[in-house]
Structure 1
Amino acid sequence: MNKSPYQLRYSLLLISVFAFALTSAQQALKLTSIVTDKADGVPLSHARVEVRSAEGNALAGGALTGADGKATIQLGKAGRYTVSVSLLGYRKHSGTVDLKSSETMAIKMEVDEKSLGEVVVDGLSPTEKVARLAYNVSLIETDKFKNTTMDLASVMDRISGVRIRQGGGVGSDADVSLNGFSGRHVKVFIDGVPMEGMSSAFGLNNIPAGLAKRIEVYKGVVPIELGGDALGGAINIVTDKSRRTRVNASYSFGSFNTHKTNVYTEYTAQNGFHVSLNAYQNYSDNDYKVNIDHYTDFTNNSVVYGDFEVRRFHARYHNEAAVLKVGVVDKPFADRLLLGFTGGYEYKETQNASNMNWVYGARYTTASTLMPTLTYEKRFDVLEGLHVSLNGNYNFGKSYAADTASCNYNWLGERGPDKSAPGELSYTKYHYRDHNGAANLAVALFPAPGHSVSVSSTLTTFSRSGKDETVSKPEYDHPQKSVKATSGLSYKYDYRGIWNTSAFVKNYVNHLEAWLDPDGGSNYRDMSSTESYWGGGLATTYFIGKRLQLRLSYEYAYRLPTSRELFGSGDDIERGNATLKPETSNNVNLGVTVRPMDTPAHRLTIDAALQYRDINDYIRRTTNNDNGRASSSNEGGVRSIGGDMSLRYTYNGMLFVGANFSYFDMRSMMKYKTGTQSLSLNYKERIPAMPYMYGNAEAGVSLNDVVVKGTLLDIHYMMSYVHEFNYEWNTYNNSELEVPTQISHDINISYSFGRQREFTVSAECRNIFDERLYDNFKMQKPGRSFAFKVAYNFNK
């Protein structure tokens, strides 16, 4: 497929956006607030500065102060504005200003004596509120990654306890491993809506990091507001909901002919009208070198063994996607009411099966996303407050899987002799539609100070229909549907911000329609079932002073099989198993957060957590000898014990260092082989294909006024470590089934300049020392790679 039209199209789009942004920037005014303590003049960080028009009280902008106590807000025009500043432990400040040109205000805050003995949670930022929850949660802000070429999956890979399982380069399947649990045990949400129904064209592995404001990782017990069925935890990607006008555009070029473009534009009018567009594309040849131990020599039809380095030759990938939202904000009937549309397309060449023993030279898949969305949020003045939110989407997309080659290929890219029947894996021209829907309704009532009651319900639907041009299969003419509904009710009590506890109950409903033989034979027929399950739990946290927080949580949880586990991937690389049973688990979590230093200049945070899981009917994904296909099955009982620890130090907002380490011991507790009294050889053996010891380290420095006054130089270093693990049961004692220990190093350097540092150029190198990196079933990942990026950011 010719790449030039794509590159030309996005280059023209970038030029248009740049011209619009440069024109708009000439009219912007800025208001800089310097917030300090009135008694000693110390700059106050994390103070919330909000600017509203004096006439009409419409929100004009808002920001948090940095370590220097400064917050700069871009305003669209001159006029009279009301400026309010709030910070935990201080009296709220409010004043007015007649803005005729850019100005700087000095604001001195007075200590609120009434709040010294308690924590006023309402004064915290959204990030700080999440960090104070009783759940074992970690957060990461994405600002420092926006100048890199990272996608959301790569950013998540830096979080304590998280490991992204990705078997290749750009566009390869990405699963999240959390606390030792694989991706399908961990639910991923965007603003509380499950991503399970979105096509691969809109996946973690190709969404730019700039889409998110922060990422919340719940390890183990999950609040009911994230109404999914999860055993290992949940990840919530929170987008930026601030009301402002902005244009962000970027383009990057890197190794393996990789191109990435992202344009985000947003406008909010004084009357509350809001429109935003986020468009991005990714392209890569993915022709990096890999190491193999054998290949087929077609000249004499023999297998040649050794250690060979070859280049991937059939792994090209590209996708284009756009997210449009239109609606209103700050209205009497809605804080946010947005109608949206997500459209995307993906083309992916398939280089190999679920492991690298099977190589392809012509297989490919395509997928499209056509998904309308709805967002509604409103806070009502009922009692102490009533919050209502509704989010939903439905994907009308379609997919195509093609396997039509009349020969086989080897890892050298050589074409073998023609075969009697076409197809490298199986002759396929399969057109299918995976219709996915998701909706989440959450209601929170605050009847009295310190008390809240929440109700949440999440519905996800899946149906597949399709037709193969090459063959007629019975299952194509029969239903493949699943409907999952997870509802929860919780009560929370908060005692003066010192101690809070949540108790909750959850109900899971699972409806399934499939074409199968329930006895595992060949007597296929239409089967339909509806099951209901109950779970629940408790989460509590206690604060000792301002620098120590303790957490304890327990949950009896269910995890319902995903549509991919039940019905397969559609391209025949992974086959479904509609007889899978839900997993159940007793989850216990204990966590502690310590802040031994917490001043404007020095901030040190240490987090540690222990987890215990007792799981029944554990679902494990495996590869088999059927030409490298993968499938899932229930493996009985599994016990997991482990923990993770992280620390992070920042100095004066310009220097930071951090590290995290995780260890999890997951073992099979099935003493006997299924249906027999024979002792299982896997009893108390470690669960294979799961990294169990890994960690990250990072350091960065931000330097102002380098070479030119008003500039900012950022240098960010990252190191990743994964200990060796087996991808088959240890009892086989075969080193060839082992993924070796891996250590990789990355570095990113960015330089921002311009009147408001609106221009940024950056360069990065991943896997600096060109180490051999693997994942999943010893799937090799790219070696050393370079990328360069240019970006423009305009805000007012």
Structure 2
Amino acid sequence: MNTKLIKNYFLLIFTILFVSSLEAQVVVSGIISDIKGKPIIGATVVIKNTNTGAITNDLGKFKIEKAPIGKLILQIHYLGFETKEVSILTQQNKPLEINIKLLNKNENLDEVIVKGKTKAAIKRDNPIKIEVIETQKFKMESASVIDLVNRTTGIKIRQSGGLGSAVKINLNGFQGDAIRVFKDGIPMDYLDGAYGVGFVPTNTLERVEVYKGVLPAELGSDALGGAVNMVSAANKPGSRLSSSYELASFNTHRATLNLNLTNKKNNVFVGLESFINYSDNNYEANVNYVDPDTRNEIPIEVDLFHNMFRQHYIEVYAGFKNRSWADELKLSVTNFKFHRENQFGQLMQYPVGASYNEQIGDFVPTIRYKKSLLKKKLLVDQFLTHSKVKRISVDTLNGSYDWLGKFTTNNESQEPGELGSPDFTTLDRYNMVSRTTFKYTINDKNSLTINAVYNSYSQEGSNPYGEYTEGENPVQLISLPANYDKFVSGLALDSRLFNNRIQNSLQFKYYYSKSSGRSVDDVTGLVSAEEVGANISNFGFGNSLRYKINNNIKTRISLEQATRLPTQSEIFGNGSTSIANLGLKPEQSLNANISVDITNNKNLSTGTNLFYRYSTNMIASTTSVTAISSVYENLEKVRGYGIELNSTYSFLKHFDITGNLTYQSFRQKGHQEGETNLLDDARVQNIPFFFSNLSASANFEKILRRKDKLKAYWYYSYIHPYYLNKIPKDLEADGFLGLFGKSGLTNTELYIPKQNMHTVGFVWLPNKEKQFSIGFEVKNLFDQLVFDNFKIQNAGRSFHMKLTYTIDFNPK
């Protein structure tokens, strides 16, 4: 790590903070609220015919410094409200304070009229690099959250099959648990993966936020290189009922039903967030069939036959808002269950015909409390939950299936189990999460945020086929109690300087974890006779700076020393396919980002982002000494860099074109123990290093009816060939950046070929003033071969039809 560079960087930051305190101040300030007196966050207040203005903070307050003397006109803009102009008179040495109320404006949900800044725009203006996906704009399309995120610059979500299959997020070179997932700013550990990007329909979300490089202290987690925060549509004010139903190929059904009701005073609310996913996932795949007579492998195309997934998720909530004792108190209860059939193992080498997994959460309560104190200068946000999630893993078949679905019984010498060893695991996971956030507004320029997240995890279960302790009275290892406590805290100073031209976020973080349980010796393979434990304590820091050069150009620079603590699954295993390792060390990484965003006019915007990562003690799954189960170990040191480019162009009032590309080069430093030095500086395997997206859409009205509206769209995705396993660097393509030239590989099984996928579709609203739409979409239009995580083949061409309907109960 270059300590001199870091010292100079922070010296620059502190210099900027100091210089800002020397500014002279001629101030116009006040509060922007709605007609009920509720503060409006993110409203734009500008002095007419000038570039001088401000944005309201979390309390609806604004402050314009260095306002001219004399008669002025203030213009106030905010999405969904009438634009307002107010005449004021300013005088020398006499600060002016004025409070303004905005009127609601009737607006169709299918139209996007930007007057001022939406919450998404405010997020994009953050000093931390954030990609914001406004999912409500795509809720009428048959697009999953994975589809939307994969069209975003710099990120790919990998799937091991169809709907409901395991997912792995890859963001700027990091993947898996290095990228944390949140819902409304809360870590999703307590639902044990049941609410994730692979399951949640777009209709239930307002937006998805992708954080790159630096994670804000207010999220309060130990992500190594970024995070995905899914913001629920239930947070939108007002009363409404929204529903959707999607029917697609491979007997796929996806339905949502969301309800939010408030009283006339808007201080009592109840609601429901629910969805159902089902798919047979019986798409065609190219496999190697073993001829029972000759034992030769024959490439054939078959329909997958044991790949079904079904899931339901129901969250019921109620609470109070805008009371003297609470800004918001929300109580919720969640029930969920999913059932996943296993068609194959980690690789698509041989079929599985009976194994399955289930995950059940019968009753998961949560409580969230928000309150403003000290004359609304201090905001308190407390979240608390205690969950129990049951995991079931079954693989006890006394025989095997071939790719044609033919069953063969095992002989007497063979054990049951299709995936290598028998498994009948029932695992109860208990998780208590407490997240506390304090945000104190020091003045109009500075605020201080303190966040602390405590997670207490324990598990116990049974698996008669799993590991046993040594001694006269052996017991199942997984039946012994295992405990894991994790504490992550953050302190952030956020500043707005030079009339909001500079925004800065300076952060310090502390990480602590404590684990206890039984472990397996990595040499003998024996279970330890006594309980063992491990403590981890570490500090981190980060800073993000955004500089607004002018109204059209913004630049960001960020630096963070990040830490990721091991997850409970990595430490304790799952009782069947992976075993415990309580000695895991945390991953650490130095992350740096530099980005520039340019908006030449209302129709064209471009941006670029450069990033650098140096990571140590990377956690990876390796084969244990038993050669049956896997174990997580600290293995890799990884260093890499990358560049992202994106652009959006709108023209002729009807058409939009968006494109982006990402190049990233991540390589291990040297080689790992047990590897040959031929793998020095090898690329990290199973990660795409170049991919791009291109899309176009057109919006028309009065096509078939006087009030109808039609949107047609096309999405294109390209992934350059990449490597399934580590290969010597001199065998890579010898052209520029490895993108051109000829590879020295002769074994085509070691790389994943290039992929081109086209999606086309349309959405039709018979009456644009009503909230009903019909959508039709074709994914993978040209039926190309598509591969994903570990070269798992995904579905070919598929057809989707989607109906959406919303009833708005708000008075007009």
Query: Helix, strand or coil for the counterpart of 2:146?
Result: helix
> What is the aligned counterpart of 1:466 among 437, 448, 461?
461
Residue pair 2:42, 2:119 contacting (<8 A) in 1 also: no
Residue pair 1:543, 1:550 contacting (<8 A) in 2 also: yes
Offset of residue 129 of structure 1: 2.0
> What is the aligned counterpart of 1:596 among 597, 600, 622?
600
Q: In the aligned structure 1, how far is the partner of 2:696 from the partner of 2:264?
A: 41
1:513 maps to which residue?
A: 516
Q: In the aligned structure 2, how far is the partner of 1:621 from the partner of 1:113?
A: 68
After TM superposition, list the pairs within 5 Å mapping 1:377-776 onto structure 2: 377-380=370-373, 382=375, 385-420=377-412, 421-425=415-419, 426-469=421-464, 473=468, 474-495=476-497, 496-517=499-520, 520-521=523-524, 522=526, 524=528, 525-569=530-574, 572-573=576-577, 577-598=581-602, 603-621=603-621, 632-651=632-651, 654-670=654-670, 673=673, 680-731=677-728, 733=745, 734-754=747-767, 756-776=769-789
Query: Helix, strand or coil for the counterpart of 2:343?
Result: coil
Residue pair 1:358, 1:627 contacting (<8 A) in 2 also: no
2:16 maps to which residue?
A: none
After TM superposition, list the pairs within 5 Å mapping 1:194-233 onto structure 2: 194-233=187-226
Offset of residue 50 of structure 1: 7.4
Query: Helix, strand or coil for the counterpart of 1:556?
Result: strand
- One-letter amino acid of the structure 1 residue matched with residue 186 of structure 2: V
Residue pair 2:519, 2:580 contacting (<8 A) in 1 also: no
- One-letter amino acid of the structure 2 residue matched with residue 551 of structure 1: R
- One-letter amino acid of the structure 1 residue matched with residue 289 of structure 2: Y
Q: Residue by residue, what CA displacement relative to the aligned partner does 1:332-359 show, whole Å, maximum 9, x if unpaired?
A: 2222210001111111111110101132
Shift of the 573–737 alpha-carbon distance from structure 1 to 2, 3 Å rule, reads farther
> What is the aligned counterpart of 2:301 among 297, 309, 323?
309
Offset of residue 745 of structure 1: 0.9
Uncovered stretches (5+) of structure 1, i.e. residues with no partner: 1-47, 66-83, 95-103, 115-119
- One-letter amino acid of the structure 2 residue matched with residue 779 of structure 1: I
2:804 maps to which residue?
A: 791
Offset of residue 520 of structure 1: 3.8
Residue pair 2:163, 2:309 contacting (<8 A) in 1 also: yes
Shift of the 695–483 alpha-carbon distance from structure 1 to 2, 3 Å rule, reads farther
> What is the aligned counterpart of 1:144 among 137, 140, 145?
137
2:56 maps to which residue?
A: none
- One-letter amino acid of the structure 1 residue matched with residue 128 of structure 2: Y
1:135 maps to which residue?
A: 128
TM-score by length of 2: 0.81
Offset of residue 512 of structure 1: 1.3
Residue pair 2:532, 2:582 contacting (<8 A) in 1 also: no
Q: Residue by residue, what CA displacement relative to the aligned partner does 1:471-516 show, whole Å, maximum 9, x if unpaired?
A: 6733123233322211011112211201122221100001112311
Query: Helix, strand or coil for the counterpart of 1:361?
Result: coil
2:349 maps to which residue?
A: 357
Residue pair 1:438, 1:460 contacting (<8 A) in 2 also: yes
Identical-pair percentage: 27
Offset of residue 278 of structure 1: 1.2
Q: In the aligned structure 2, how far is the partner of 1:132 from the partner of 1:407?
A: 58
2:257 maps to which residue?
A: 263
Residue pair 1:355, 1:628 contacting (<8 A) in 2 also: no
Q: In the aligned structure 1, how far is the partner of 2:273 from the partner of 2:206?
A: 14
Q: In the aligned structure 1, how far is the partner of 2:42 from the partner of 2:706?
A: 23
Query: Helix, strand or coil for the counterpart of 2:551?
Result: coil
Q: In the aligned structure 1, how far is the partner of 2:305 from the partner of 2:507?
A: 52
Q: In the aligned structure 2, how far is the partner of 1:746 from the partner of 1:87?
A: 47
> What is the aligned counterpart of 2:365 among 363, 372, 385?
372
2:26 maps to which residue?
A: none
Q: Residue by residue, what CA displacement relative to the aligned partner does 1:307-355 show, whole Å, maximum 9, x if unpaired?
A: 2111101011111110111001122222221000111111111111010
Offset of residue 62 of structure 1: 12
Q: In the aligned structure 2, how far is the partner of 1:252 from the partner of 1:358?
A: 32
1:167 maps to which residue?
A: 160
1:278 partnered with 2:282: no
Q: In the aligned structure 2, how far is the partner of 1:309 from the partner of 1:628?
A: 30
Query: Helix, strand or coil for the counterpart of 1:340?
Result: strand
Shift of the 481–268 alpha-carbon distance from structure 1 to 2, 3 Å rule, reads same
Offset of residue 136 of structure 1: 1.5
1:338 partnered with 2:335: no
2:21 maps to which residue?
A: none
Q: In the aligned structure 2, how far is the partner of 1:209 from the partner of 1:458?
A: 28
Stretch deviating more after TM superposition (754-763 or 618-627): 618-627
TM-score by length of 1: 0.82
Offset of residue 661 of structure 1: 0.8
Q: Residue by residue, what CA displacement relative to the aligned partner does 1:379-415 show, whole Å, maximum 9, x if unpaired?
A: 34537x2222122333212121111211111112111
2:113 maps to which residue?
A: none
Q: In the aligned structure 2, how far is the partner of 1:625 from the partner of 1:698?
A: 49
Uncovered stretches (5+) of structure 2, i.e. residues with no partner: 1-30, 45-59, 65-71, 91-97, 101-115, 469-475, 732-744
Stretch deviating more after TM superposition (749-758 or 138-147): 749-758
Shift of the 769–627 alpha-carbon distance from structure 1 to 2, 3 Å rule, reads farther
Shift of the 344–148 alpha-carbon distance from structure 1 to 2, 3 Å rule, reads same
- One-letter amino acid of the structure 1 residue matched with residue 531 of structure 2: D
Residue pair 1:691, 1:722 contacting (<8 A) in 2 also: yes
Q: In the aligned structure 2, how far is the partner of 1:406 from the partner of 1:520?
A: 31
Q: Residue by residue, what CA displacement relative to the aligned partner does 1:432-465 show, whole Å, maximum 9, x if unpaired?
A: 1122333321111111120111101122333221
Residue pair 1:224, 1:489 contacting (<8 A) in 2 also: yes
Offset of residue 164 of structure 1: 0.5
Offset of residue 429 of structure 1: 2.2
- One-letter amino acid of the structure 1 residue matched with residue 209 of structure 2: E
Query: Helix, strand or coil for the counterpart of 1:303?
Result: coil
- One-letter amino acid of the structure 1 residue matched with residue 284 of structure 2: K
Shift of the 62–222 alpha-carbon distance from structure 1 to 2, 3 Å rule, reads closer
Offset of residue 583 of structure 1: 1.0
Query: Helix, strand or coil for the counterpart of 2:584?
Result: coil
Q: In the aligned structure 2, how far is the partner of 1:304 from the partner of 1:752?
A: 55
Q: Residue by residue, what CA displacement relative to the aligned partner does 1:79-105 show, whole Å, maximum 9, x if unpaired?
A: xxxxx99999973669xxxxxxxxx99
Query: Helix, strand or coil for the counterpart of 1:501?
Result: strand
Q: In the aligned structure 2, how far is the partner of 1:124 from the partner of 1:113?
A: 26
Shift of the 408–90 alpha-carbon distance from structure 1 to 2, 3 Å rule, reads farther
2:119 maps to which residue?
A: 126
- One-letter amino acid of the structure 1 residue matched with residue 157 of structure 2: I
Q: In the aligned structure 1, how far is the partner of 2:149 from the partner of 2:466?
A: 41
- One-letter amino acid of the structure 1 residue matched with residue 137 of structure 2: K
Q: Residue by residue, what CA displacement relative to the aligned partner does 1:739-796 show, whole Å, maximum 9, x if unpaired?
A: 1111101122111134732211111111111111111111111110011111211112
Offset of residue 700 of structure 1: 1.1
